[in-house]
Amino acid sequence: MGWVVGADVIVIGGGVIGLLSAYLLARAGERVTLVERMSVGGEASWAGGGIVSPLYPWRYSQAVTALAHWSQDYYPGLGERLLANTGIDPEVHVTGLYWLDLDDQAEALAWAQREGRPLHEVPVESAYAQVPALGEGFERAIYMPGVANVRNPRLVKALRAALQNLPNVTLLEHSPVLQFVRDDARVIGVRTAEGEMLAEQVVVAAGAWSGEVLQSLGLALPVEPVKGQMILFKCAEDFLPRMVLAGGRYAIPRRDGHILVGSTLEHAGFDKTPTGEALASLRASAETLLPALRDAQVVGHWAGLRPGSPEGIPFIGEVPGRPGLWLNCGHYRNGLVLAPASCQLLADLMLGREPIIDPAPYAPAGRLN
């Protein structure tokens, strides 16, 4: 080809999407170099809640639903394999999820029937029986059993360790990509402060920063940062046996009694500063959902940046007119939910395999400006 190739694939971005993309490609025998501008998993993958479902799955298009369903079925096995491989447990914690006093409950139930998902209306008394700490005054409940949450910081650690166990993977942290290396239209590598790295194919999986990365190629990717703030409480291990969601806010139990409450939706550019206003709002939501949290210790408050995209549909596939350049980005609020299916689909397309689902809705063609 006229250039020295150091890897089969370079993956730009070390969040869950980049890590899992690299892992699946490397497991298939590809030589992979993953390049991360900061520390692996330090952005949205660390900051999110980790519910293995869209918050309101019936409000999304079939494109998001298809990825979510595949991923939900895949997660328990992924957690077990990573634990066996690395000794790090991502804690895929199956709790089920209650939605309370939904405005669009009828649409939710119709969606569940149409999609064959186990989401049902239940007497609100059963929600109170299952979640004794629930605040007073809720009148309606729907429940989906089997919904899990994953402890995303531990998922990141497990994926990082799994990659380090593979001899055909190179992991470069604190190594921002400065520009792409091209041979005419073809993308053949990246340039960092350490120099040029060349590969047969390059994947952009840089989350909220993906649009910034692609600007040097004259590509306008409609992915923008959307800030979200969370708070973390410490409670007894049995305080919250189920996830609960009401009024746009959710509470997620971890196995050790930590309770995550989120989240805000803010358009503030790349600013990740936690604010007192958001803290007060999240605390008020937490105390409405679970009044006992009024006396619980807040042990964490942080912000992260989601990769906002039109309709929340990620970009997965090769960029038209730029052979060798692939995207796996723009997952908006559902990066952790959609990661397994998104990364499997990318690997299928890159390796010429039969794709797990129809790739057409995610193709970059016609969706870049």
* CATH at 125: 3.30.9.10
Q: Which distant-in-sequence residues (6+ apart) come within 8 Å of 257 by Cβ?
A: 234, 235, 236, 237, 238, 239
Rounded Cα distance, 368 and 366, in Å: 6
Q: Are residues 136 and 174 in the same domain?
A: no
Q: Are residues 154 and 240 in the same domain?
A: no
Whether the CB-CB separation of 294 and 131 falls below 8 Å is answered with no
62: domain CATH number is 3.50.50.60
| HSE-up (13 A, CA, CB side) for residue 56 | 17
Residue at a domain's end among 308, 329, 360: 308
Q: Are residues 76 and 10 in the same domain?
A: yes
Q: Are residues 184 and 109 in the same domain?
A: no
Helix (H) or strand (E) segment spanning residue 80: helix 62-86
Q: Are residues 256 and 303 in the same domain?
A: yes
Q: Which range of residues forms the domain containing residue 107?
A: 97-145+224-308
Q: Are residues 229 and 211 in the same domain?
A: no
Q: Are residues 89 and 234 in the same domain?
A: no
Q: Are residues 264 and 298 in the same domain?
A: yes
Residue at a domain's end among 286, 308, 330: 308
Output the tens digit of pLDDT for each of the chain's 369 residues: 334 457 999 999 999 999 999 999 999 999 999 999 999 999 999 999 999 999 999 999 999 999 999 999 999 999 999 999 999 999 999 999 999 999 999 999 999 999 999 999 999 999 999 999 999 999 999 999 999 999 999 999 999 999 999 999 999 999 999 999 999 999 999 999 989 999 999 999 999 999 999 999 999 999 999 999 999 999 999 999 999 999 999 999 999 999 999 999 999 999 999 999 999 999 999 999 999 999 999 999 999 999 999 999 999 999 999 999 999 999 999 999 999 999 999 999 999 999 999 999 999 999 997
Split into its structural domains, the chain has a count of: 2
Q: Are residues 84 and 113 in the same domain?
A: no
| Residue 141 Cα distances to 152, 169, 174, 224, 247, angstroms | 27, 47, 46, 34, 13
Determine the residue type at 162. Answer: A
| Distance spanning both ends of the chain, measured CA to CA | 30
Q: Are residues 350 and 235 in the same domain?
A: no
Whether the CB-CB separation of 21 and 347 falls below 8 Å is answered with yes
In DSSP notation, 131-184 reads: -TTPPTT---EEEETT-EE--HHHHHHHHHHHHHT-TTEEEE-S--EEEEEEET
pLDDT of amino acid 5: 54
Q: Are residues 300 and 164 in the same domain?
A: no
Q: Are residues 229 and 343 in the same domain?
A: no
Helices and strands in the chain, H and E counts = 9, 18
Helix (H) or strand (E) segment spanning residue 68: helix 62-86
Residue at a domain's end among 308, 335, 359: 308
Rounded Cα distance, 79 and 336, in Å: 13
pLDDT of amino acid 194: 87
pTM of the model: 0.97
